[in-house]
Amino acid sequence: MAAEAGRNRLSETTSPYLLQHKDNPVHWWPWGEDALAEAKATGKPILLSIGYAACHWCHVMAHESFENEDIAAVMNDLFVNIKVDREERPDIDAIYMGALHLMGEQGGWPLTMFLDTDGRPFFGGTYFPPTARYGRPGFTEVLKNIARIYRDEPDRVRHNAQAITEALGQRTAGASGIVISDRLLADLTQRMAGVIDPQHGGIQGAPKFPQWSFFWMLWRGAIRYGNTQSATAVEKTLTHICQGGIYDHLGGGFARYSVDERWLAPHFEKMLYDNALLIDLMTEVWRETKNPLFKLRICETVDWLEREMIADGGAFAASLDADSEGEEGKFYVWSRAEIYDALGDEDAQFFSEVYDVSEGGNWERHNILNRLGSLGLMRDDEEKRLRVLRETLLARRAKRIRPGWDDKVLADWNGLMIAALSRAAVVFGQPEWLERAETAFAFIDTTMTVDHRLRHSWRAGKLGAAATASDYANMTWAALRLFQATGKPRYLADAESWADVLHAHYWLSDEGRYAATADDTGDVLVRLAGGTDDAVPNANAIQVSNLAHLAVLTGNQTYAEQAMSVLESFSPDIQKNLVAHTGLLAASIDAMSPQQVVITGGSGREKMVAALYELSLPGALEHVLGEVDASGVAPALEGKSSKDGAATVFVCLGPQCSAPLTGPDGLIALLKEQRRARA
């Protein structure tokens, strides 16, 4: 066994991140039973390294340490070394990132954890330099010290591992908690607005992240409670994101976050989930504000998605790397000389003034294209001229060595993008976007489903691990959005089916919430079941909205009871930290006041639809039926048909529906009345 163990096994995997390490001199194992058995057989502790393909500091540590023959020899001698792609196994990543937080350390990637032979964590960190610097010990020193402690102080290791593992499984469910009410949410909305950077938008300070759950709650609160300060804060934030360097002004798409407080300098990787969530939020804010910048950025980002992010089979790829040629951002930044060479003096001068290009650069001697100097759009003729110049520079940039492309398909991230595209398609009248969303959905519904159970990932013809709760929650959201956009019953059937599987295999009946992993996922140390927000929305939060909507659509109040159970389960956690649970709090509005609008076919339909999209209805179920016969489609649509050949609107709040309307007059006023909280 030991002789056979002495090799790097990552070439046998399909993960782009793991394949980046297949030629390391480290004897890497992928996560799995064989690796854990090797630790048991040899008695060596486990070195667990978790990262992802687009992670800059993961590349740095790989180059400095994992490609170093001497450091690799120490790793091979002292540890069983396991490499994990956090995007393929978010459940594994969440466990050991949670363990690091319990150790009092700040999280991040690469995540470097040390485990006993049972997979229990006892020490960890993130990036370690090869030799001591940045206030961090050298990696070789860390390796030798950890191995020594594991060998010489087994009681200490055992105690730490047991304490951390027990703490990971602790819950606050059952304790007294807070009552979620409109009074609470209105007050929270006001307080959240107070932490927004008044100059640049976003939460004050640096770095700055889009933080969808936070801004989704802030926008929902702005609409429900008539809070203009909160609405302005969201619009300001999105405007700076759209005009900052975090946006790729040539190719479209948003980077993961900005390292500075102005949204100028991005961490250059582009993740599918960020772009999905920003498309969705901007679509909703555009409806209320009609800010042309948001519509433009949505269209450009969808263009980027279709040009660069379609994986084999028609679903969406995971990410684009931050690095190319070993440098972060090299593909995206420009010198002034390059701009002038590509555009000529007159056009280059005009472009440079608009996009903040200078001889000395605007960030570490390079130029990150941005329009933070003037946030509004220019005259139509000037914008048309800029578009031509951007196309020229995009063609020039295409000749550069491209960043790495992680083309694995993740069910949960695809669910977010499908949901966003489905809503944006109908709001902006883009049927091809809807077709793209349906194609991606079909791939996951067929290729990534085995025996009615979803798989989390797919690449190169191979399926990955069992689905997480987020896969089911996000794909249920996608199915509900597609059902609203198309009126096709099969999407509602999928939403019900996945909600039922999620409840059967992920529901913790004694706690009234969903675990991240299924009851038959055998290779996880503990079944986490948290509700806090992350870069991607929490599965419990998304599912609360899904369940509230399924209850409305099907008439099955069991779904509504499950939604309320989740909120009650997390109320002690929410009481401890409101802002960490903004996803759940936003979803609670759907549980308390689910709103539904149905527009039938018939004369005058276009005016009705225009009125619907004249204002934001965050969280609402919206059905534009066209010529679809609603009978038999869903219980909530039964009997909702056109009156006397005219398009008819039915507006419902919970179980109460208004009288049907056959003209746009009064519709906007009624929708505004319903979306506001009762006094």
CB 117 within 8 A of CB 46: yes
| Terminal-to-terminal C-alpha distance of the chain | 71
At 630, the pLDDT band (50, 70, 90 cuts) reads: low
CB 221 within 8 A of CB 185: yes
At 105, the pLDDT band (50, 70, 90 cuts) reads: confident
CA 51 to chain centre: 16
Q: What is the dihedral of CA 91, 96, 100, 106, to 10 degrees?
A: -40
**Range(s) for CATH 3.40.30.10 in the chain?**
2-168
Q: Which CATH architecture has domain 2-168?
A: 3-Layer(aba) Sandwich (3.40)
Encoding tokens for residue 128?
A: 């370690």
Consecutive H or E run containing 233: helix 228-243
Does position 3 have pLDDT exceeding 50, yes or no? Answer: no
Q: Calculate mean pLDDT across residues 107-111.
A: 92
At 2, the pLDDT band (50, 70, 90 cuts) reads: very low
Whole-number Å distance between alpha carbons of 358 and 130: 36
* pLDDT at position 1: 42
The per-residue pLDDT for range 303-312, each reduced to its tens digit, is 999 999 999 9
Q: From residue 450, how far is each of 305, 444, 667 by CA, in Å? A: 27, 10, 45
639 against 162, higher pLDDT: 162
Q: Which percentage of the chain shows pLDDT scores above 70? A: 98
Helix, strand, coil share (%) of the chain residues, nearest 5? 50, 15, 35
Which residue in 143, 135, 91, 134 sits closest to 112, CA to CA? Answer: 143
Domain 436-592 has CATH 3.40.50.300: no
Q: Which percentage of the chain shows pLDDT scores above 90? A: 88
The per-residue pLDDT for range 18-56, each reduced to its tens digit, is 999 999 999 999 999 999 999 999 999 999 999 999 888
At 172, the pLDDT band (50, 70, 90 cuts) reads: low
The per-residue pLDDT for range 207-233, each reduced to its tens digit, is 999 999 999 999 999 999 999 999 999
Does position 628 have pLDDT exceeding 60, yes or no? Answer: no
> What pTM value is reported for the model?
0.95
**Range(s) for CATH 1.50.10.20 in the chain?**
436-592
Encoding tokens for residue 109?
A: 């990637």
Q: Calculate mean pLDDT across residues 666-672.
A: 91
DSSP label at 121? Answer: E
Q: pLDDT averaged over the chain?
A: 94
Which amino acid appears at position 446 of this protein?
Answer: T
